[in-house]
A and B are shown apart, each in its own frame.
Chain A
Amino acid sequence: MKVLVLIRPKQGILDPQGQTVERALPALGFEGVTDVRIGRLVELEVTDPSKLDELCEQLLANTLIEDFEIQIQED
């Protein structure tokens, strides 16, 4: 099955990339956009989803600084 793992900076952690993008938007005429946070998306194809949490905690995300969310895509 196909799995998406969304990895985001934890709340409260400074995200300078997000801030920079947020500051750039008004210059392009996009007003009213706030709280931009930039993370990562990892796509996986797995046969056994039971170890996904462990896999994310051990490698895909550093849980001291990042939160992850697993989305299992139906076939």
Chain B
Amino acid sequence: MRIGVVRFPGSCDEVDALDACAMVADAELLWHGRTDLDGVDAVVVPGGFSYGDYLRPGAIARFSPVMKAVADFAAEGGPVLGICNGFQVLCEAGLLPGALLTNSGLRFLCKQVDIIVERPGTPWTADCEAGERLSIPVKHMSGRWHADEATVAELEAEGRIVFRYAPGDNPNGSTSDVAGVCSAAGNVVGLMPHPEHAVDALTGSADGLKLFSSILNGGDRVGTAG
């Protein structure tokens, strides 16, 4: 198992993501200018401020050469995880539903939050139980996930809301307390919290490691609900 971590100009969490991946598998960085994924088995689109967040977070990065390769990989069922800015990039690219808006409180947030696993049956949540609580930090300015009512109802019905902030712990005003969602097939997952910053008890929590270890067990669970 080899996991590729995309690096855009302005990424800043790709090294932590790489380290987290390296705890469970082989891992390598993929520069945004390349047009292939070097044959990796899974892709992480990490956090940061790709292209300076110009226009909207993720709006420019989605046109990076590597994103075409990521989209093709995702279409073939390849597992893709977008974290924070990576989530924004995947939403802008249309690989995940919804969009990320400025936090309702207009402040940059940096805090530990609890999230609930709503959908264990994805390649990135295979090691989690339904309803499991994970303590993972958020750090973002534009984390208010939004989709219209019809889309949210559809996502609920299809089990595509993967993570919710624990009751009372929604830091950014996201619709329906959504912290992360997945694609229709379940192989593309995105979330605002940073599991790669929660892989060692020394820094407060190792709960995030479950997302990365899941990839070793989750490949065959693509498309299965719950």
Point out residues on A near B: beta carbons under 8 Å: 9, 13-14, 16-17, 20, 59-60, 62, 64-65
Task: Verify B102–A13 contact, CB threshold 8 A.
Answer: no
| From A13, A16, A20, A60, contact of B146 by CB (8 A) | A13
Answer whether A17 and B106 are a contact pair too, CB < 8 Å, given A62-B92, A62-B99, A64-B99: yes
Chain A residues within 8 Å of B99, by CB: 62, 64-65
Point out residues on B near A: beta carbons under 8 Å: 55-56, 59, 63, 92, 98-99, 101-106, 144, 146-148, 173
Give chain B nearest CB distance to A51 CB in angstroms: 16
| From A13, A20, A60, contact of B101 by CB (8 A) | A13
Task: Verify A62–B106 contact, CB threshold 8 A.
Answer: no
Cα–Cα distance between A16 and B98 once the two chains are bound (Å):
19
Answer whether A60 and B106 are a contact pair too, CB < 8 Å, given A13-B101, A65-B99, A65-B146: no
Chain B residues within 8 Å of A20, by CB: 106
Nearest A residue to B102, CB-CB: A16
Cα–Cα distance between A45 and B20 once the two chains are bound (Å):
46
Cα–Cα distance between A59 and B105 once the two chains are bound (Å):
26
Task: Verify B146–A59 contact, CB threshold 8 A.
Answer: no
Chain A residues within 8 Å of B104, by CB: 14, 16
Nearest B residue to A20, CB-CB: B106
Give chain A nearest CB distance to B84 CB in angstroms: 17
Query: Lowest 7 CB-CB distances: which A-B pairs, in order?
Result: A64-B99, A65-B99, A16-B106, A62-B99, A16-B104, A62-B56, A65-B146
| From A14, A16, A59, A64, contact of B59 by CB (8 A) | A59
Chain A residues within 8 Å of B148, by CB: 64
Give chain B nearest CB distance to A26 CB in angstroms: 19
Cα–Cα distance between A62 and B92 once the two chains are bound (Å):
8
Nearest A residue to B100, CB-CB: A65
